[in-house]
Amino acid sequence: MAQGTSGAVAPGSVEALKRVKATETEWDARLSAARTEAESSVRRAKDETEATVKAAEAEWERSRSAAVERARVEAASAAETIVAEGRAEAERAARGEGLRPSDKKDAILEIVLGSFGKD
Domain hosting residue 18, numbered range = 14-113
Does residue 5 belong to any structural domain of this protein? Answer: no
Among 55-59, 106-110, 115-119, the range scoring the smallest mean pLDDT is: 115-119
How many domains is the chain partitioned into structurally? Answer: 1
Q: Residue 54: inside a domain, yes or no?
A: yes
Inside any domain, residue 1? no
* Residues in contact with 89: Cβ distance below 8 Å, sequence separation at least 6, in sequence order: 98
Q: What is the pLDDT of residues 32-54, one digit of tens each?
A: 999 999 999 999 999 999 999 99
Mean pLDDT of 96-112: 69
Give domain status of residue 118, yes or no. Answer: no
Secondary structure in 3-state letters for 1-37: CCCCCCCCCCHHHHHHHHHHHHHHHHHHHHHHHHHHH
Domain-located, residue 4: no
